[in-house]
Amino acid sequence: MSWNRWKRGDVEEGGEAQPLYPMMLESPELRWAFVRKIYTILSIQMLLTIAVSAIVVFVKPVSNFFVSSGGGLAVYIAVLISPLILLIPLYFYYQRHPINLFLLSLFTVSISFGVGLTCAFTKGTVILEAAILTAVVVVSLTLYTFWAAKRGHDFGFLAPFLFSALIILFVFSIIQIFFPLGRIAQMIYGVVASLVFSGYIIFDTDNLIKRYSYDEYIWAAVSLYLDIINLFLSLLTLFRSADS
């Protein structure tokens, strides 16, 4: 891969051109090996998510527990907050092998269980539509980002805009819990969230190419995994609202 983003030195001071990103100093072979490692981990995460979600969807006693049991709501809340809790030890041990992979596996399973519960109460055609569109968007944006990075484009400027949009989505979702705004509002949320997480796929893929160091492979995999899962859930919200 050729990198074209370079910072010009002061000619009068005898400065030389310096790389804009430290990762550009390494050989392309090392960076490609790092990229392949990330996408290998990400592929395993996605396969694990599909397997766990399928168990939740097709093994009816699992999903029925949450609607027929008095403790189902408490367990559901625990499932929702467990990924946030697991991120704490994952942050402190992301360089400690193999405990980092063990924590990453637990994190992936906890996310997958929540995805499975969402899909368990959604029509199969809606799930299929969201899954196909997610796959197409992820592959297309990934290829585009690699193409753009090879030609020297940078997407670091997206960070403040994406973060602001994420805050708005979070506040909107909280409002929806206490003051439901109806099907149209859910469709708008699904569209906006899909665009935001599509932007995050571009941004995090660009970081993978240029900014992540070798000991940050866990965070790189987590970032892309969350982008894909949130894009899928956003599209699921959109299609489910349109179908109802």
227 pLDDT above the threshold of 70: yes
Average pLDDT across the chain, whole number: 83
Residue 226 confidence class, pLDDT cut points 50, 70, 90: very high
Higher pLDDT, residue 2 or 79: 79
User: What is the average per-residue pLDDT within 51-75?
Assistant: 76
Mean pLDDT of 220-238: 94
Q: How many CB atoms lie within 10 A of CB 239?
A: 21
Does 2 have pLDDT greater than 80? no
Q: Note whether 37 and 29 are within 8 A (CB).
A: no
Q: pTM score > 0.75 for this model? A: yes
pLDDT in tens, 185-204: 888 899 999 999 999 999 99
